């Protein structure tokens, strides 16, 4: 008998009918003998609706009161699902985050979980009840309602699985697993059977939005096996676990991630002296702008060029700051480009294989795609290219690293 935490996202509980379907699914697991804790999101669109209501009162909503409002979305769905289970003869009970006592810090709208009291849940499970818990929320030590940030129900699911030492945390969503890349860009992308926490973190942070990043960090830290599955289609989904060095047949690359969220800034002709990087990036970080990739050129005339990327939302701000720096340093010019995209190959198999980066560059060269910036880590190589070549690049890399699904033959 296993203890399983199942999390259902907003689209999976988006209508009464779907909640009934979720109840059917939970019932089947329960009847197979497993202990089940279910975490649910608000009905799809509900959190946005509540935030919008708040903004009609106060354009910059008071953070504490916003949490009082947005936490109600999940309170509705836990009650509905518990009723749908009870109606089917499955004993069930629902709890808000505060009722469980998911204790968080007091950072309203982006709170972090500090501890979870598992007493109440354990007692219910022992007495044969399915426990339905509201995702996305907790309570601070003063009893204030807090929420965990958008997509936070994933984190609730994983945190509960960690606290209960569950056998698996299943994340049910509207895709049937984690893919080698976005199937909208590469139609023959493949569902991965397995991926490591580390790889999933890279994929997620690079724009594959299946799971909240924090939930993956959490799962890795506490070694909670995570499985992403489709809510209403049968299938094994994708298992996210620790790197299992025993399994030999590791592909070199597990997936291709990409995003269009960044913009590039360049400052040219700055004196190549100690402290330049600090002089350029200090004011950027003082303006609370996060920098991702950084490249500094070698100099030949004692001046150098310096290029970095920021989130596109920060582009105009960053450019204004950089122009001031350029004036102060008598640099030649400060300029920028928002029409870029970042493409990355991700895989733990890279550690044991040489020449992975050059294979990537070769594939891009064959398509005459110019690489503007490069960065590498142990399990990832990222390049910045012109945005208009993004899809071509992803497809070329998907093929070059043999990720394409075999063509289906029909008889
Ligand atoms: N309902 C919250 C949101 O939309 C939390 C979640 O769905 O994970 O962000
Ligand atoms: Mg979600």
- Rounded to the nearest whole angstrom, what is the distance from the C-alpha of residue 341 to the centroid of ligand 2? 24
In the block, residue with structure tokens 């690489």: 371
Q: Is any ligand 1 atom within 6 A of the Cβ of residue 41?
A: yes
Q: Give percent of the chain with pLDDT exceeding 90.
A: 86
Full-model pTM: 0.86
Question: Encoding tokens for residue 138?
Answer: 């907790």
| pLDDT confidence bin for 283, thresholds 50/70/90 | very high
Predicted local distance difference test score (pLDDT) of residue 263: 97
Ligand 1, pocket-test mutation among 136, 146, 160, 215, most atoms within 8 A of CB? 136
- Rounded to the nearest whole angstrom, what is the distance from the C-alpha of residue 227 to the centroid of ligand 2? 14
Cβ atoms of 34 and 170 within 8 Å: the answer is: no
Give per-residue burial for 203-241: e unless 16+ CB within 10 Å, then b: bbbbbbebbbbbbbbbbbeeebbbbbbbbeeeeebbbbb
Question: Over the chain, what is the mean pLDDT?
Answer: 93
pLDDT tens readout for residues 228-264: 999 999 999 999 998 766 555 667 899 999 999 999 9
Q: Please state, in angstroms and as integers, the Cα–Cα distance from residue 5 to each residue in 97, 220, 330, 345, following that order.
A: 15, 16, 59, 31
In the block, residue with structure tokens 């560059």: 361
| pLDDT confidence bin for 411, thresholds 50/70/90 | very low
Number of helical H runs and strand E runs in the chain: 13, 20
181-202 mean pLDDT: 92
pLDDT tens readout for residues 64-97: 999 999 999 999 999 999 999 999 999 999 999 9
| pLDDT confidence bin for 356, thresholds 50/70/90 | very high
From CA 293, how far away is CA 270, in angstroms rounded? 19
Q: Which domains does the chain have, with CATH numbers?
A: 3-174 (3.40.1160.10)
Q: Which of 104-108, 113-117, 184-188 has the lowest mean pLDDT?
A: 184-188
Share in percent of the chain as helix, strand, coil (round to 5): 40, 25, 35
pLDDT tens readout for residues 376-405: 999 999 999 999 999 999 999 999 999 988
């Amino acid at each position: 008998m296993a203890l399983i935490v199942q999390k259902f996202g907003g689209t999976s509980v988006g209508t009464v009918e779907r909640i009934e379907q979720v109840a059917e699914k939970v019932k089947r697991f329960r009847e197979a003998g497993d202990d089940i804790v279910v975490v649910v999101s608000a009905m799809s669109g509900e959190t946005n609706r509540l935030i919008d209501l708040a903004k009609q009162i106060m354009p910059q909503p008071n953070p504490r009161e916003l949490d009082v409002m947005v936490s109600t979305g999940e309170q509705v769905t836990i009650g509905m699902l518990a009723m749908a289970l009870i109606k089917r003869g499955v004993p069930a009970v629902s709890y808000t985050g505060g009722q469980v006592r998911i204790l968080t810090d007091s950072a309203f709208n982006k709170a972090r979980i500090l501890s979870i009291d598992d007493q109440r849940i354990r007692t219910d499970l022992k007495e044969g009840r399915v426990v339905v818990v509201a995702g996305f929320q907790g309570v601070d030590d003063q009893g204030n309602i807090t929420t965990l940030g958008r997509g936070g129900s994933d984190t609730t699911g994983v945190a509960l699985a960690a606290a209960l030492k569950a056998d698996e945390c299943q994340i049910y969503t509207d895709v049937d697993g984690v893919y080698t890349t976005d199937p909208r860009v590469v139609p023959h992308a493949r569902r991965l059977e397995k991926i490591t926490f580390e790889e999933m973190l890279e994929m997620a942070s690079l724009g594959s939005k299946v799971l909240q990043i924090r939930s993956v960090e959490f799962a890795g830290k506490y070694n909670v096996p995570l499985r992403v599955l489709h809510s209403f289609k049968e299938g094994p989904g994708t298992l996210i676990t620790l790197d299992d060095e025993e399994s030999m047949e590791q592909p070199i690359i597990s997936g291709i991630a990409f995003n269009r969220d960044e913009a590039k800034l360049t400052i040219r002709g700055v004196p190549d002296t100690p402290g330049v990087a600090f002089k350029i990036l200090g004011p950027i970080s003082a303006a609370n702008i996060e920098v991702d990739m950084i490249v500094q050129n070698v100099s030949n005339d004692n001046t150098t060029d310096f290029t970095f990327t920021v989130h596109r939302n920060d582009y105009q701000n960053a450019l204004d700051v950089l122009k001031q720096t350029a004036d102060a340093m008598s640099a030649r010019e400060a300029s920028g480009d928002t029409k870029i995209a970042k493409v990355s190959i991700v895989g733990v198999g890279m550690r044991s294989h040489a020449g992975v980066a050059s294979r990537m560059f070769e594939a891009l060269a064959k398509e005459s795609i110019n690489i503007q910036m490069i960065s590498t880590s142990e399990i990832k190589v990222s390049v910045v290219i012109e945005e208009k070549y993004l899809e071509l690049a992803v497809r070329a890399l998907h093929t070059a690293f043999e990720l394409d699904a075999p063509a289906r033959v029909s008889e």
